[in-house]
C-alpha cells in the first residue's frame, strides 16, 4: 500500500471532510438555495460552504500558503506555495441530483503543480498523486490506457454553453472526432474526466474555456500516470491557458492532428 506524504495526508483529509458535507447537501439537493452567476454556471450554498471548509482546513495545516478557489477566495500567501481549489466540480450535476461530481485540490509550488487530489465522494474514489511519486486511485497505482488506434478510443470532452466564443470551434472538433473514434462522453466534471484519463477509463480528453481550478489537480494525475497534457493552443499553458488536451503517448499526436491543434 502506498504511503502518503504529510502534504498529501493534509489534502486527502480536507477533501474527505468537504466530501462528507457535500454528500449531506446532495441528499437534500431540492432544498438548496441557488443563485445564478453567469450563463449555465450556477452556484449553490454547497459550493460556498465547501470552499470555506477547505480554506479553513488547508490554511490551518499550512498557514503561509496562498489560496485560489472557484467561488472567489484569492489569497497570495507566501508567493511560493498556492492551493488551487474547486470545492464542487460538477455543480450542475449536483443540483440536478446526478451523482457525478468531485472535490479538486492542487498544490502549486514555484509556478508548478506538485500535488493533486480529485475526490468523488459518492463513489468514495480518491484519486491522488505527487510529482515524481506516481498517481493512485485509493491504494491502486494508475496508468493511462495503452490503446494506440483512434478508432478504438473513448474520449471525454466538455460542451461550451450557448453563446460561448468556443461554440463554433467545438462543433467542428466534435464532428472531426466522432468520425474517427469509438465514442465521446460529456459527463460534466472536468476534474473527474482527467482522473479517468489517468486511470485508463478514458483514452483522452479535450476542452476549451476551462479554468485552473477545473484542471490543475487532474493534470498532475495524468502526467504521473504516464500521460500527456498540453494546451490546445500553440505555446499555451495547460493550467492557465483556458484549453487542454490529454491522452496517452500513442494517441497524442494523432488526436492533436484530428482536433487541428497539431
**For the ranges 13-17, 47-51, 129-133, 159-163, which has the lowest average pLDDT?**
159-163
Of the pLDDT bands very low, low, confident and very high (cuts 50, 70, 90), residue 22 is: very high
What are the tens digits of pLDDT across the range 128-145?
999 999 999 999 999 999
- Which of 15, 8, 161, 160 has its CA nearest to residue 86? 15
* Mean pLDDT in residue range 224-251: 92
pLDDT surpasses 70 at 40:
no
Q: Give, in words, the CATH class of 6-141.
A: alpha beta
Query: Is 189's pLDDT higher than 70?
Result: yes
Least confident of 84-93, 159-168, 193-202: 159-168
Backbone angles phi, psi at 183, to 5 degrees: 175, 165
Kindly report, residue by residue over 176-186, the tens digit of the pLDDT: 899 999 999 99
Residue 158: its pLDDT value, please?
92
Burial class (CB in 10 A: 0-12, 13-18, 19+), 110: exposed
Does the pLDDT of residue 34 top 90, yes or no? Answer: no
pLDDT, position 39: 47
| pTM for the structure as a whole | 0.93
Please say whether the beta carbons of 100 and 188 come within 8 A: yes
Number of neighbouring beta carbons within 10 Å of residue 210: 19
Residue 35 pLDDT exceeds 80: no
Q: Calculate the average pLDDT of the chain.
A: 91
pLDDT of residue 236: 86
Q: 210 pLDDT band (50/70/90 cuts)?
A: very high
pLDDT of residue 157: 96
Of residues 53 and 3, which shows the higher confidence score? 53
Q: For the chain, what is the HEC assignment?
A: CCCCCHHHHHHHHHHHHHHHHHHHHHCCHHHCCEEECCCCCEEEHHHHHHHHHHHHHHHHHCCCCEEEECCCCEECCCCCEEEEEEEEECHHHHHCCCCCCEEEEEEEECCEEEEEEEEECCCCEEEEEECCCEEEECCEECCCCCCCCHHHCEEEECCCCCCCCCHHHHHHHHHHHHCCCCEEECCCCHHHHHHHHHCCCCCEEEEECCCHHHHHHHHHHHHHCCCEEECCCCCCCCCCCCEEEEECHHHHHHHHHHCCCC
Q: Where in the chain is the domain with CATH 3.40.190.80?
A: 150-258
Q: Which of 34-43, 55-64, 97-106 has the lowest mean pLDDT?
A: 34-43
Q: Report d(CA 251, CA 253) in Å as an integer.
A: 6
The pLDDT value recorded for residue 226 is 98
Work out the burial of residue 191: count CB atoms within 10 Å of its CB; fewer than 13 is exposed, 13-18 middle, 19 or more buried: buried
The CATH number given to 150-258 is 3.40.190.80
In this predicted structure, the answer to whether residue 222 has a pLDDT above a threshold of 90 is: yes
Domain with CATH 3.30.540.10 in the chain: 6-141
Instruction: Answer yes or no: is pLDDT of 146 > 90.
Output: yes
Amino acid at each position: 500500500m502506498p504511503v502518503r506524504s504529510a502534504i498529501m495526508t493534509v489534502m486527502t483529509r480536507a477533501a474527505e471532510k468537504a466530501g462528507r458535507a457535500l454528500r449531506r447537501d446532495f441528499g437534500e439537493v431540492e432544498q438548496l438555495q441557488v443563485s445564478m452567476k453567469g450563463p449555465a454556471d450556477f452556484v449553490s450554498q454547497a459550493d460556498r460552504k465547501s470552499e470555506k471548509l477547505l480554506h479553513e482546513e488547508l490554511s490551518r495545516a499550512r498557514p503561509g500558503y496562498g489560496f485560489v478557489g472557484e467561488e472567489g477566495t484569492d489569497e497570495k500567501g507566501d508567493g511560493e506555495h498556492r492551493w488551487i481549489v474547486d470545492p464542487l466540480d460538477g455543480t450542475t450535476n449536483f443540483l440536478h441530483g446526478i451523482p457525478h461530481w468531485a472535490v479538486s485540490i492542487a498544490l502549486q509550488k514555484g509556478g508548478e503543480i506538485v500535488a493533486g487530489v480529485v475526490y468523488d465522494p459518492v463513489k468514495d474514489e480518491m484519486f491522488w498523486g505527487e510529482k515524481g511519486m506516481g498517481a493512485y486511485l485509493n491504494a491502486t497505482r494508475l496508468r493511462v490506457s495503452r490503446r494506440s488506434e483512434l478508432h478504438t478510443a473513448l474520449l471525454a470532452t466538455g460542451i461550451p454553453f450557448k453563446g460561448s466564443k468556443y461554440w463554433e470551434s467545438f462543433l467542428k472538433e466534435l464532428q472531426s472526432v466522432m468520425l474517427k473514434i469509438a465514442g465521446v462522453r460529456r459527463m460534466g466534471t472536468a476534474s473527474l474526466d482527467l482522473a479517468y484519463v489517468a486511470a485508463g477509463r478514458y483514452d483522452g480528453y479535450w476542452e476549451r474555456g476551462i479554468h485552473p481550478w477545473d484542471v490543475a489537480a487532474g493534470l498532475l494525475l495524468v502526467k504521473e500516470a504516464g500521460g500527456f497534457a498540453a494546451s490546445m493552443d500553440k505555446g499555451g499553458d495547460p493550467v492557465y491557458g483556458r484549453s487542454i488536451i490529454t491522452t496517452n503517448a500513442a494517441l497524442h499526436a494523432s488526436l492533436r492532428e484530428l482536433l487541428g491543434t497539431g
